[in-house]
Chain A
C-alpha cells in the first residue's frame, strides 16, 4: 500500500497552506513530518488521511484517489489519529478500543469472536488490558494516549497517520510511547507517518524525515543525511550542534540547541541548501560525552 501525492495544493479559504509537487510514501517505513508551528504539517497529514479536500492536485492510495475510496474500505487500510482527540464522557477503555472495529462491521452486525480477539490483542499490545473497564476520562495522559493508539490498532490498517502523538506527555511517557510505536511498526510492518515537533525525537525514530516550512518540503531523506544546524536554523531559527550517536548500527544525529539565529553568526544562504554535511562540523557522541 503506497500513498502518492502529486501537484498537491491545500488551502484554508484564500490562504494557501501547503504545496507539494511530488511525494511517494513507501510501505513499512516510519516517516516523520517536522517543521515550525503553522508550517502546514498537520494540514498535509490530514490530506494524506483523506480528511482535507485539496484545492488542486491529488492524493491517492494504490493509484486510486482517496476521495473515490469507500469510506469503510479506506478506513481498513488507513488509520488517522488527530492531536489530542476529545474523549467522550463516560466511555470505557474497551468501548473506545472497540470503536476501531467499526470499518470491519456491517450496519446491524454484532462484534464477532474475531473482533473481540482483535480488541483484546490491541489492548495487550499497548499495555492497557488491565484498564479495560476503566472510564477513559479517569486515565492519566499516557494511558489515555495508549488507549487511542489501541483503537487505531484495532482498526488493523496498514498505514497509520499520527498527529503529534506525544503532545502533553512528559519525557518518560513520550519515550515509552515512541518505543511502543517503533515496536509495533517492526512487528506489524506498519507504515507510520507522524507529525512530531521534537527534531531529536523525529531523528531518533524516523526512517525518513520530511521537513516542512511555509507549506513546502525543504528537506527529505534519512535523518543522518538531512539533520544538522542548517536544517534547525531554517526550520526553527535555532543554531544547533549536531551530535552523532550509533544505535544498533544506525547513525542517529541529535541537535544540541545553542541559541537563536540572531544571537549567533549567520551562515550564508549559499551554504544552506545542500544536504551533505561537512564532517568537521559533526561531533561524535563520545567527544561530547566522554565515558
Chain B
C-alpha cells in the first residue's frame, strides 16, 4: 500500500490477506474437484494412490496423470495468462473493454491452426508423405503460437507510425482480427474436408484431450510472461495516464508500451495456442478482481491471476460434468457465463456513476 496511515494500512492489508486466503482455498478446492470429477468417477482413495504411485499400469494412475492432472494444471496456467494479458491490455489501450482478441492474437492463432490442418490434410492424401498426422498434431500449439505472435506483430507494425497511440492500436487490431477471421471462415468453407470438424472444435476453445505435451509448450512462455508482468508493475499504472503526463513524470512511454504489449502477447498467444480462443476470461477477470482487490496495483495483479485460474478451472469443470460424458467446450461456457457477469458489472458501474 502506498503511504497509508498505519491504522488504515493494517485494516486494508488484513482485508487483502483474508481475500487472498479465501481465493487460495477456493483454487485448491477447484483443483481437487478437477482431479476427482470426470467421465469416470474415481474413489478418493484410488485417486490418491494413483497420484502417489504414478505406476502407468493402473487405470487410475493413467487417468489422473495423463489426463486430469495436465488438464487441471493447464486450466490454472491458461486462466492466469488470459487474465493477466487482459489486465495489461486494458491499461495499455486505456479501454476497459480490451481483451487479448483486440490485438489479433486469437485470429492469428486461428488462421495458423486452420492452415496447419489444411496442410496436414493434403499431406495425408499424399502417397509420399503418407499418414503421419499424429506428428502434425503435435505441431498444432506451436503453429498457433507463432500465428498469434505474427498477427500481433502485424498490428504493432501498423500502429508504429502513430507511436502506438491506443486508439490506432485498437482500430488496427480489430481490422486485422476481422480480416483473419474472414480468412479462417473462408478456408474452412472452401476446403470442406474431413478435418473441418477438428478446426471448428479447436476454434470453440477447450481443454479436451490436452496433455503434458501442451504443458511443455506452455510453461516457459508462462514463466517469461509472469516475470515480465512483475517488471511492469509500476509503469503499467502510469501508462493509464495521458502521454504528456507520464512523459513529464520521466517515463519512457513508447518503450514501456511496447514492452507491456509484448508481455501481453506472449501470455495470450501461448494460452490461445493450447486451448484455442477462450472468450471473456481476459475481459471480465480484471473487472471482477478490481472489485475484490481494491485499487492497489500490486494486490490487483496477484488477485487477478488467481481469479483468472478460478474462472478457467470452473468453466472447464462445469463443461465436462454438466452433460457428462459429453463435453461443452470451455470457451463456449466462459462466453455464456461471462456475458451475464459482464452485463451485471456494466449495470453496477452505471449505478456508481462512473
Contacts and interface: CB of A to CB of B under 8 A. Distances in A.
A100 B2 CA distance: 12
B242 A99 contact: no
A9 B247 CA distance: 21
A86 interface: yes
A99 B241 contact: yes
Given A51-B247, A82-B242, A117-B3, 7 more contacts: A75-B250, A78-B248, A86-B242, A88-B94, A95-B296, A100-B249, A111-B2
Contact of B245 (A71, A85, A92, A116): A85
A75 B252 CA distance: 11
A91 B240 contact: yes
A111 B296 CA distance: 13
A98 B251 CA distance: 14
Contact of A99 (B8, B249, B353): B249
Nearest to A133: B8
B237 interface: yes
A90 B3 contact: no
Interface string A98-139: 111011010110010001110110000000000001010110
Contacts of B296: 95
Interface in B261-297: 290, 295-297
B42 interface: no
B129 to A, nearest CB: 51
20 contacts: A51-B247, A71-B250, A74-B250, A78-B248, A79-B248, A80-B248, A81-B248, A82-B242, A82-B245, A85-B244, A88-B241, A90-B290, A90-B295, A95-B237, A95-B295, A95-B296, A99-B237, A102-B249, A116-B2, A120-B3
Contacts of A120: 3
Contacts of B2: 94-95, 98, 111, 116, 119
Interface string A129-151: 00001010110000000000000
Interface string B154-187: 0000000000000000000000000000000000
Given A75-B250, A82-B245, A115-B3, A102 B295 contact: no
Interface in B86-127: 94, 96
Interface residues of B, number: 27
B245 A155 contact: no
The 8 A-B residue pairs whose C-beta atoms are closest, nearest first, are A75-B250, A116-B3, A80-B248, A88-B240, A72-B250, A103-B250, A71-B250, A98-B2
Q: How large is the interface on A (under 10, 10 to 19, 20 to 34, 35 or more residues)?
A: 35 or more
Contacts of B354: 89-90, 135, 137
Interface in A7-66: 46, 49-51
A119 B290 contact: no
A173 interface: no
Nearest to B294: A92
A155 B4 CA distance: 18
B247 A71 contact: yes
A76 interface: yes
B234 interface: yes
Q: Kindly name the residue among B8, B241, B244, B248 whose own CB sees the greatest number of chain A CB atoms within 10 A.
A: B248
B242 A71 contact: no
Given A75-B249, A116-B3, A80 B244 contact: yes
B241 A85 contact: yes
Interface of A: 46, 49-51, 71-76, 78-82, 85-86, 88-92, 94-95, 98-100, 102-103, 105, 107-108, 111, 115-117, 119-120, 133, 135, 137-138, 155, 161
At the interface, is chain A mostly helix, strand, loop or mixed? mixed
Contacts of B247: 51, 71
B244 A119 contact: no
B231 interface: yes
Interface string B213-248: 000000000000000000100100110111011011
B259 to A, nearest CB: 11
A85 to B, nearest CB: 5
Contacts of A73: 250
A263 B101 CA distance: 60
A94 B296 CA distance: 10
Nearest to A116: B3
Contact of A102 (B3, B4, B234, B290): B234
Contacts of B96: 89
A111 B353 contact: no
A135 B252 CA distance: 26
A182 B343 CA distance: 48
B241 A92 contact: no
Contacts of A99: 237-238, 241, 249
Given A88-B241, A90-B290, A75 B248 contact: yes
A196 B295 CA distance: 34
Given A111-B2, A116-B2, A120-B3, A103 B249 contact: yes
Interface string B295-335: 11100000000000000000000000000000000000000
A99 B241 CA distance: 10
A179 B64 CA distance: 71
A107 B231 CA distance: 7
A102 B238 contact: yes
A102 B240 contact: no
A133 B245 CA distance: 22
Nearest to A77: B250
Nearest to B231: A107
Contacts of B244: 46, 49, 51, 80, 82, 85
A172 to B, nearest CB: 24
Nearest to A52: B244
B311 to A, nearest CB: 20
A138 B3 CA distance: 21
B251 A102 contact: yes
A115 to B, nearest CB: 7
Nearest to B255: A71
B47 to A, nearest CB: 42
